[in-house]
Structure 1
Amino acid sequence: MIVAPPSGNTFPPEPYQVLHVGFDTIALSIKTMLPPDLLDYFESQKQIAEKEQRDQLVEWNGVKLHLKGHGGKGYRFIASGGPHGANWAFKKPNAKDPWGVRVTFGSTFLATLGLGAARAHLDAVLDKLGMRFAHDDISISRVDICTDILAPDFALDADAFVMHSSTNRRDYVTGFDASVNGKSGRVTSVTIGSTRARQIIIYDKRLEVIQKQKAHWWAIWNKIRVATGQPDLSPADPSQKIWRVEFRAGKDLLKDTSNIRTWADMFARFGDLCAQTGDVIRYTVPNTYDRNRARWPNHPLWEVAVAEIVSDLSEMREGEDPTGVKSVIREQHIATLIKNIRGTSVTLAALEGRNFEALPDFFGQVATKLTHSVNSEPEHVAKMLKNAQDRYTFVT
């Protein structure tokens, strides 16, 4: 979807282009408990993870997870299925507390596979783990949905939001976390509301992707560019500003206000909840001649974002093969490691008094030493390799 932004600029502005729309986070609890044999297995593997101070790769009936050596927030076991899986938390079985599992799907899974795949993945994993539950035995506690928009001319204005007077607002300015009040600097993020209830956030997604090295998002965004015959977006071009508009529904809003608990509830009412959010909180074009902020018109960026977010849920899934995104994540790890190897090797050369011309021969000598080290401690190095393979099993 492409919409022209407001006029008034010195040069004709570029249109707004939607690069991505979909769910960003989904968290839910399941009314089921670990079977005794799986409980024993997790206990033994958790002890290994705790002893070796690293995540332990576990496998049960074809399900692979990285199990941590600790629990947290009332859960005995914490595990991850990698960037294309889910994050899992399991309680120790307790008849007085039957809600024994918490599952969180993150942005990478949902951006590449979608909502339908998340639901199918949840059912398949718990079935393989021998954990049975009915359709009503789930409780959705958080749903985030977002759209990313290419908007080169857009500048975020914290004072352009119109909302209920009781709604909280947090502003973030480039370089520091603070209120915009009296501070100079470009506003990069504005958050309104609370995590347990209704919350919206508009932020500079391009900046966040670069700062947190989430290189796979360029591959996701460039899908639409390729499909429309446009050149790829690049992190090297600061004029290609990408803004994310995100609606977040917390536990209180989902359950108490909208009566959304199960998958059926979500498909029936979540679209209405998003539409309501787009009305209760608005990003506008301020009119300094009208003191009644309620009459300020919606900003075109907001109109585009709300229209995309409240679309039919069945269309909010990419359903693509995640191999391309996996490849980007893997190549990013490789590039980082090669950079580290180069830096460490050059530092070693400096410590040994080598000059620049001697570096090629020195690198060969280092490789020879590493080979001798492998041959002298084969069991230890083999274990190191196995640990590394386990650590990156979900992106290789």
Structure 2
Amino acid sequence: MPELLYAGFDTLEVSFQGALKSESLEILRNAKDEAAKTREDQLIEIGPGKVDGHVPAHGMTGGYAFVFDTGFMGEQWTFMDSEDTSRWNIAVKVRAANLAAHSYQEIKERIQQRSADMGCIVLQESIRRADFAMDFLMPEGFELNQDQVVAHSHSKVSSHWGEKGAVSEKQYHPSTVFRGRKLESITIGKMPGRQVIIYNKRKAAIEKQTPFWFKVWNIAPKDTTKHVWRVEFRAGKKELKEKYNLRSFRDFEDSIGDVFVNTAEKVRYIDDGQVVSNVSRTLPHPLWIAVKTTLEHNLLEYRSGLLPGQLKEVLRKQQEDIYWQQIQGNVAGLAVVKALSDQEMKTNYARKVSTNLERLINVEGGRFWESYNRARSRLYFLE
């Protein structure tokens, strides 16, 4: 049987009717201009609470002129260049690591506190997207099969994906991702409506360089005997607002469980070896039984159990490993360029490299310190 390793919100996006004050908007304008000149994100602080964040040279689609990123354990805020509080000038997307380390209530409080610290004038909020993820340790030999995905309907269906001839049929048609001969991902649905994704999360964590997930699962990254698959439910603004009339934090807290429970009834993963002639008579796969059991609990209470400091340490170690790999590669490449023999490298090469580095470090205001200051700004949230 599948073993639940983690369950929790993986994405939370909220829009706010309101605006930033003029002084903060001016700071953002200047930072964006400087980022364009230097081609580097600018580290600034805004608001009475002196909130730190990086500002890139670009904005975001939807009319948002400014991006303000509070780090891998924070959020990505976007702002329109307007002080008109009748408009929806503010939006926030919470980072996955932040959601893994905190419960929903803690996240909501952090968003509200951050907004106040930045000096935002907020009149009301609107939830525009929520993703809920469940990671399962699957038995040896589990393989994904697109023929076992069905879209449930009250009427008899002739395909696995929806009602015959229905306008919405395409939204149930799965898109698939193969690697070699193994299916790694199935996606059913389309955003900003509803979407269900089943995929190999272990491989995704390695490829996307998000090693903190292994800490969450309590699995060694090099342990290839552990197979972690994620089932992710996504609800966009059409699903939340048009179908469920779910807008505010209160609406979200009252109804988000129903949104995903209903989705798990309409989109299903059935057990092996069944002929789908009548969807209502198919047996669910053990994975889907585990999914529905997880969704029956209070989704707002799920969390990874890890502290933010633990996740930060994992990411700090990852960055350290990356730099050491780069150092080793550069030092090896330099030895080749200098045509050093094996014996020369083993005798005094390390000492010469060390001496040169020491000389660079001791030059006040030199290129080493310029690089150091840029790195310190870039890696500010790891400090």
CA distance in 1: counterparts of 2:56 and 2:305, whole angstroms:
30
Q: CA deviation at 1:156?
A: 0.7
Q: Secondary structure at the residue paired with 1:111?
A: helix
Residue 205 (structure 2) pairs with residue 209 (structure 1): yes
Which aligned pairs between 1:330-345 and structure 2 lie closer than 5 A? Answer: 330-345=316-331
Instruction: Give yes or no for the alignment of 1:327 onto 2:323.
Output: no
Q: 1:359 and 1:242, CA in 2 relative to 1: closer, same or farther beyond 3 A?
A: same
Q: Equivalents in 2 of 1:322, 1:143: separation in Å?
A: 21
- Alignment match of 1:234 (pick from 208, 214, 220): 220
1:24 is aligned to 10
Which residue of structure 1 lines up, in the alignment, with residue 234 of structure 2?
248
Partner in structure 2 of residue 99 of structure 1: 88
- Residue 211 of structure 1 aligns with an amino acid whose one-letter code is E
SS of match in other structure, 2:229: strand
Equivalent position of 1:313 in the other structure = 299
State the TM-score, normalized to the length of structure 2.
0.90
Q: Which amino acid aligns with 1:173?
A: F
Q: Give the TM-score, by structure 1 length.
A: 0.87
Alignment partners' CA distance in 2, 1:174 and 1:55: 36
Match of 1:64 among 4, 28, 52: 52
Q: Establish whether residue 278 from structure 1 lines up as the match of residue 267 from structure 2.
A: no
Residue 363 (structure 1) shift: 2.1
CA spacing shift, 1:33–1:319, aligned 2, 3 Å: farther
CA drift at 1:195: 1.1
Larger mean Cα displacement after TM superposition, 159-168 or 95-104: 95-104
Partner of 2:136: 149
Equivalent AA in structure 1 for residue 242 of structure 2 = D
- Going from structure 1 to structure 2, the CA distance change for 1:202 and 1:289 (only over 3 Å counts) comes to closer
Structure-1 separation of matches of 2:173 and 2:237: 17
1: CA distance, partners of 2:22 / 2:50: 18
Alignment CA distance shift 1:314-1:70 (3 Å): closer
CA contact (8 A) 2:148 2:269 kept: yes
CA contact (8 A) 2:21 2:83 kept: no
2:253 to 246, 267, 271: 267
Structure 1 CA distance, aligned partners of 2:72 and 2:295? 23
* Percent identity (aligned): 30
Q: Are the structure 2 counterparts of residues 366 and 331 from structure 1 closer, same or farther at C-alpha, using a change threshold of 3 Å?
A: same
| Structure 1, 307-316 or 98-107: larger mean CA deviation | 307-316
**Deviation digits for residues 6-36 of structure 1 (CA, Å, limit 9, x no counterpart):** xxxxxxxxxx211100000011111111101
Q: Structure 2 vs 1, CA of residues 22 and 341 (structure 1 numbering), >3 Å: closer, same or farther?
A: same
Aligned match for 2:108, one of 113, 119, 137: 119
Deviation at 1:277, TM superposition (A): 0.4
How far did 1:89 drift?
A: 0.5
Instruction: Provide structure 2 residue ranges, at least 5 long, that are not aligned to the other structure.
Output: 152-161, 164-168
Say whether 1:388 aligns with 2:379: no
Secondary structure of the residue that 1:25 maps to in structure 2?
Answer: strand
How many positions carry a matched residue from both structures? 361
- Whole-angstrom CA distance in 1 between matches of 2:377 and 2:350: 28
Q: Aligned with 2:121: secondary structure?
A: coil
Indicate the larger mover: 111-120 or 138-147.
111-120
AA of the residue aligned to 2:195: Q
1:95–1:343 CA distance, 2 compared to 1 (3 A): same
Judge conservation of contact 2:19–2:85 (CA < 8 Å) in 1: no
Q: 1:188 aligns with which of 184, 187, 203?
A: 184
Letter in 2 for 1:357: Q
Residue identity in the other structure for 1:362:
Y
Q: Is the 8 A contact 1:152 1:239 kept in 2?
A: no
Aligned partner letter, 2:51: V
Question: Does the CA-based 8 Å contact 2:11-2:94 persist in structure 1?
Answer: yes
Contact 1:22–1:309, Cα closer than 8 Å, also in 2: no
**In the TM superposition, what is the alpha-carbon distance from 1:393 to its structure 2 partner?**
1.4
Secondary structure of the 1:369 match is: helix
Q: State the match for 1:75 in structure 2.
A: 64
**What is the alpha-carbon root mean square deviation over aligned residues?**
1.7
Are residues 1:158 and 2:143 paired? no
**Counterpart residue number, 1:180:** none
Give the stretch that moved more between structures: 244-253 or 354-363.
354-363
What CA distance in whole angstroms lies between the structure 2 residues aligned with 1:376 and 1:123? 45
Please say if residues 274 and 282 of structure 2, whose CA atoms lie closer than 8 Å, have aligned partners that are also in contact.
Answer: no
Instruction: Work out which of the residue numbers 173, 180, 186 in structure 1 matches 2:178.
Output: 173
| 2:197 partner letter | I
Contact 1:287 / 1:296 at 8 angstroms: preserved in 2?
no
| Runs of 4+ that moved beyond 6 A | none
Deviations 1:316-345 (A, max 9, x none): 234642111100101101111101101110
SS of residue matched to 1:20: strand
Instruction: Find the counterpart in structure 1 of residue 158 from structure 2.
Output: none
SS of residue in 2 equivalent to 1:89 = strand
User: Cα 1:287–1:318, aligned 2, differ >3 Å: closer, same or farther?
Assistant: closer
